[in-house]
Structure formats: C-alpha cells, structure tokens
Structure 1
Amino acid sequence: MPAFKWGFTMIWKITTLLSVGVWATVLAATSTIAADFAPRDEAVAMVKRAVVFIQEQGEAKAYAEFSRKGGQFHDRDLYITVLGLDGKVLAHGQRADFVGQNLIDAKDPDGKLFIKERSDLALHHASFWQRYKFSNPTTQRVEAKDMYCERLGETNVCGGVYGS
C-alpha cells in the first residue's frame, strides 16, 4: 500500500505558493484602492485646466460645469470648487447646495475656519496648498484633505485630494 509522505520540501513549496498567492491578492487590492484616489499632481493639473476654462468660457459656463457631477472636472474624489475671497461659494463640484452661500465662518471637525484661512492665504499667495478635514465623496468619511488653490481675480479656484 503506497503511502504519501509529506517531506519538508513539499511543505515548503506549498507554503511558498500560498504565501505568493496571498501577497499577490493584497497587492492587487491595494493598487485598486489607490487608483480610486487622485494624487496631488492631478489636483494641480485640474485646477490649472479649470482656470483656463474660466478664462476661455466665462464664469457662468465654467461654474455650471464645475458644479455638474460627472462632468469633465470630476475624477474619482477630485473636483473643483470656486469661492470668492469673501467666502461665497461660486461653484462646488460635490455640494451644489453650497453654491450661493457664504461659508466664511465654516469650520472643519477640528474647529479650523478653513474657508477664512483659504481667503487669507489667497491674499498673500497666487497659489498654495491648504490642509483641513472634509467629507470624502468616495469613502463617505471625514478625512484629511489637501486643497490646491490658485487665485484668479477675486476668487480661489481649488481642487483637493484626500488622504495624502
């Protein structure tokens, strides 16, 4: 009666194959998750495209496009917002209900007056990064957000990334 013997070499081969399979699955899942979030360089590029779009198409057409979900200025968790330096929301790619509201006194969950801070930064810088917390449309959780902004006249044109 033939008996199957598990030797060290056989166990090592099976363990190695299982480990490789597990790691391949983990890496595939990680790259899929990472692909769902825009990186900082894409935020900069989108803001620069948005500024040109405003200059070429005019504010009314541009702001409507920025506020349209699924439009050309939406990519995963990245979208455009435009605020007057007084804190009035002129366009918002995630929250159309904010358009027309003055949010100068808005605070993030840590109490940071992030719209006021953004307006103050624009008075001293043509472009800048700002960090605060906001609801991520992809995860539906409040997360750290890095917002890149360029001043255009009396407005801030911004696009932000989460979890960077």
Structure 2
Amino acid sequence: MRHLHKWIFSVMLTAAMLACSGMAQAAERATKEEAVAMVKKAVAYYKANGREKSLVAFSDQSGPFRDRELFLIVLDPKGTAVAHTALKKMIGANIMDLKDQNGVEIIKSFYKAVEKNNSGWSAEYTFINPASQQLEPKLTYVEKVDDLLIACGYHFLKTK
C-alpha cells in the first residue's frame, strides 16, 4: 500500500511538472515585436557585414538569428531561399508558389508586403510552429534590403 501511495504521488508530481512546463512554453511564445526585432537585427547585420557573410550567419541554426520559433528566411527576387535559419534544405529552393492549407500564397504575400514601403506584414497564413510542432496561424514581418527580402514570422493563438 505504501508503494502505491509513493507511485501515485510520483505520477501526480510528474503531471504537475508537465503542466507547469507546458504553461512556461506557452508563456515563452515569441511575439510580434520580437519578430520585427529579429528582422531589424538581421538588416543591421547585413549592412555592417555584407551579403556573403550575412547569408552564412542567417543560415546558422544555432546562431543569433534563431530564437524559439523565430527564424529568418531570406529570398532573392525570384522567390529562391538564399538563407534559412530553420531548414538548411530549403536553401536554393524556389518557393515562390508555396501555399498554406487554405490556399494563401505565403511567399507572394511577402513580396506584396514590401511593395510600398520596403517593409510590412505578410497575409495571415497557417504553418507548422517548429516549437510546438502544431499547425498554427502565423504572420511574417518582411523588409527589403538591396534585392533581398529578409523575413521573420511569429505564431499566435487565435482567441474566440
């Protein structure tokens, strides 16, 4: 009986710890402001260090341009990823026609976002959050520098 009580206590303690870690992860969700700050940091780095060094840094998965679900994607004028902090296999791929499950043209919305002011927000789309591995709504902040788009998105939960 005593072993049963210890086992139940262990299970309850583990469940409480998991619940708290889930709440901590939710509290650590990246924000809109952090996505903008990531792009601003990348633009400053690009201007200080040039294209070649920047594209290497922007593709470093453990470098300063990766934070939780925040990562950079850098696109050339034709929609080819020239840097990608989260998925190296995307580098060199033309993703201009990428759509979400609802038909939102994700990359084309990046180009549309920079048409007037060389910066702006994408259309809302659904994408897998690398932190939670769940499909979630996402917005991406984009800035145009030279002929490149530097983008960073954040996932958010819709409230009812």
Provide closer, same or farther for how the CA distance between residues 110 and 78 of structure 1 changes in structure 2, counting only shifts above 3 A.
Answer: same
Question: Deviations along 1:61-116, whole A, 9 cap, x unmatched?
Answer: 11111111111111111111111232111111111111111111111111111111
1:158 corresponds to which residue? Answer: 151
Distance 2:107 2:24 in 1: 32
The one-letter amino acid of 2:26's match is A
TM-score normalised per structure 1? 0.77
Q: What is the aligned length? A: 141
CA contact 2:126–2:135 (8 Å) conserved in 1 = yes
Does 2:50 correspond to 1:58?
yes
Local SS of the residue matching 2:83: strand
CA contact 1:85–1:122 (8 Å) conserved in 2 = no
Which has the greater radius of gyration?
1
Local SS of the residue matching 1:123: coil
Identity value in percent: 33
1:28 offset after TM fit, Å? 5.0
Runs of 4+ residues over 3 Å off in structure 1: 27-31
CA-based RMSD of the aligned residues comes to: 2.1
- Stretches of structure 2 lacking an aligned partner (at least 5 in a row): 1-16
1:32 corresponds to which residue? Answer: 24
Distance 2:59 2:27 in 1: 23
Q: How does 1:100-119 map to 2 (within 5 A)?
A: 100-119=92-111
2:136 corresponds to which residue? Answer: 143
TM-score normalised per structure 2? 0.79
1:80 corresponds to which residue? Answer: 72
Does 2:109 correspond to 1:123?
no
Local SS of the residue matching 2:115: helix
Does 2:46 correspond to 1:48?
no
CA contact 2:110–2:121 (8 Å) conserved in 1 = no
Shifted more, 121-130 versus 58-67: the winner is: 121-130
The one-letter amino acid of 2:120's match is F
Distance 2:117 2:102 in 1: 24
